[in-house]
Amino acid sequence: MPQDRTLSILCTFNGFYRPSDGGYGGTMTYAITSANPDMGAIVASTGEIDIDNAPAFDPSVYNARVDITFTLAGNCTLQNGTVVPVSWAPDLSGDQGAMVLMDVDQNGNHSHPAHSDDVEAKWIAGNRVEIEVDDKNENKNYYYRPGIVVPALNNYYISCDPPLVNRQTTNK
């Protein structure tokens, strides 16, 4: 029976204090750490994942599903210059979960959570989150919103919104 394809991504977060509003923000860069089978350069450093650009695969070995694992690294520099660790938000539910999956409408807006029949997020061991992209609606794009918390700031929540392009052609 064909198995799911896998994609592992390192998410490196650089958090900082924003003097303009007294809050905190950050940037995230993304890099593929492994893929099975090889998926080429389908992840941009900005976090956009374009599954449609993956090379063809052997359908007798792999199915159309892609299990994407995100591992978090990085830190946040506080107002006083102290550098502290960050972690994924503590759960996967609600508006401030570790990995909120957002539907994208025809106007490009991404304001409501994706339906669990299309995509699913779950915790796995350690500081990692996994998204399973199902092929039930392969013409649909999503945004995944990684939720970061700064434990030293009473779990101050920061999010990023890169796109996940899930268009699929034969054996891609």
Q: Return the half-sphere exposure (C-beta side, CA atoms, 13 A cut-off) of residue 76.
A: 25
Q: Is the pLDDT of residue 164 over 90?
A: no
pLDDT tens, position by position, 7-30: 999 989 999 999 999 999 999 898
> What percent of the chain has a predicted confidence (pLDDT) above 90?
34
pLDDT tens, position by position, 61-97: 998 888 888 888 999 999 999 999 998 877 655 555 5
The encoded tokens of residue 133 equal 């992209």
CA neighbor of 9 nearest in space, from 66, 90, 76 = 66
Rg of the chain in Å (alpha carbons): 17
| The predicted structure's pLDDT at residue 167 | 43
